[in-house]
Amino acid sequence: MIIFLGVTGSGKSLQGKLLADEFGYVWISTGDILRALITGEKRRNMLTGKLINDDEMIRIIGKFFESIDLKQQLILDGFPRSIVQTDWLIQQSRTGAFELTAIIQFDVSEAVVHDRLTKRCRPDDTEESINKRFEEYNSVTMPIIEHFQSEGYKVIKIDADKDPQTIHQNVVAVLDDITGKT
């Protein structure tokens, strides 16, 4: 399993699609899953940039894990988003449900994210929600990176301010270094 971490707009989904298409990996985008499954008040909250609670996210991801072969290489995009979710994922790996191949952090500037998100014109990409995502990313998600590291996992930082093809080449190079093959 390859985990992609980064703020919304860092390019995780595009890079996940590129890897999946090029190498036949399974790509799981939690954002796409949530947009498809969440309705009502929870959807309205999500559209303002609020995160889904840990128990619900773990339940949703757990269901997806049950439906796929976890022995094949897959890309997990947008999960975990909290320490609780990180601990659950680490526990799943340590019990042999899957192998954690790589944890990749897409490091991107606020200016680039604002530019990318305003161009894609999704209803949940308002100025307020973009700012809120950065606040939550810095206060909630950045500690996940430190937590993975404290648990002995290496987190590889990719410069996500670059153009998509350069980012893709960098991701492939990192995965080649780790696995000897992509």
What is the reported pLDDT for 50?
A: 67
What is the reported pLDDT for 182?
A: 60
CATH class of the domain comprising 2-179: alpha beta
Domain boundaries, the chain: 2-179
Q: Cβ distance 81 to 140 under 8 Å?
A: yes
> Rounded to two decimals, what is the model's pTM?
0.88
User: Tens digits of per-residue pLDDT, 12-36?
Assistant: 999 999 999 999 999 999 888 888 8
| Residues of the chain where predicted confidence (pLDDT) is lower than 70 | 47-51, 181-182
What is the reported pLDDT for 133?
A: 84
| CA distance linking residue 75 with residue 72, whole number of Å | 10
What is the reported pLDDT for 79?
A: 94
